[in-house]
Amino acid sequence: MIVTLTPNPSHDRTVALTSALERGAVQRVASMTSQAGGKGVNISRAAVKAGLPTVAVLPADPDDPFVHDLLAAGIDCRPARTTGAVRVNVTISEPDGTTTKLNSPGPAATPDLLRALLETLRDHARTADWVVLAGSLPPAAPDEWYADLVAALRDTPARIAVDTSEGPLRALVDRLPAVAPHLMKPNGEELASFTGGDADELEADPAAAARAARALVERGVEAVLATLGARGAVLVTADGAWHAAPPPTTVVSTVGAGDSSLFGYLLGTHRGHPAPECLALAVAYGSAAAGLPGTTIPLPTQVRPDLVVTRELTSPSTA
């Protein structure tokens, strides 16, 4: 079972334009979609489509339309009461696949809410294969909260994955190896934020990205899955480093592609695949998601790991 935490969920509304975004202009909209989303929610949605048991933990009123949307999609949801309505995020998608995101802050977290979310996570972690902590934190939540959660969950049988950025990511890295999760999934920009490297260079050079990710492995993280946009992804563990290049993809929307990649990796571990095959499945899921509109999560039949080209980068000690 995969348990996901989305501490700052959102109604994801995607506006697809008929032409490139022009600031200050009046433009035509080709389509508009809305879906209950957030990183953890997207991973739970992918799990349902793949037939894996999942529980989505998040702050929301049990009667919020957001929760009803998840239940209608077959997602087992565990909402914790919060102080306000689920936020709305808007994505503007251009015909060439360029996306512009407008993210609202969401309701402020209270100590009672954070405590309730932790208790729910610990309860379900007893029977979970993975607990995924994903996305931004709500206002008033301390940056150290993800690090605190990892520490609080380390005595459960579940493996822990973290996908976050900015302050929460820096706070987690600062406390390694004491609170090292089993898996981290940064992108090029997030890798650069704590290595001091250049984000564009890391995304363009898989070997450089692997060297940056190696720093996390050396500080106790078992596996680092670094997504590199059109360059695919690299996976670094104590046993080696690999790069996977995606198949040719017509990009429609990159929103949710990273979440799909993370799920693909988790699915590979669930199936007992070796590390390179887990990486290939991650990249296949991410590229399939990028070819779909909005935050659409691909079906397993739309995922083609056989078209992903995977290669070993270097020996473990020099990756």
Cβ contact 244:280 at 8 Å: yes
- Spatial CB neighbours of 206, under 8 Å, sequence gap ≥ 6: 228, 231, 232, 234, 243, 313
Q: How far is CA 163 from CA 212, 247, 251, in A?
A: 16, 24, 23
User: Scanning the structure block, which residue is given the tokens 């995304």?
Assistant: 203
Among candidate residues 96, 123, 259, 306, the one labeled active-site is 259
Cα-based angle 255, 34, 86 (whole degrees, multiple of 5): 90
Could you tell me which of 229, 233, 235, 266 has the C-alpha nearest to residue 54?
266
Quote the CA–CA distance of 41 and 81 in Å, as a whole number: 17
| Segment (H or E) for 50 | helix 39-50
Active site residue 96: no
Q: Which two tokens stand for residue 248?
A: 């040719």
Q: For 58, phi and psi rounded to 5 degrees?
A: -165, 160
Determine the Cα–Cα distance for residues 244 and 228; give it in Å rounded to an integer.
Answer: 10
The dihedrals phi and psi of 98, each to the nearest 5 degrees, come to -65, 135
Pull the structure tokens for residue 267.
């699915």
Residues with a known catalytic role: 259
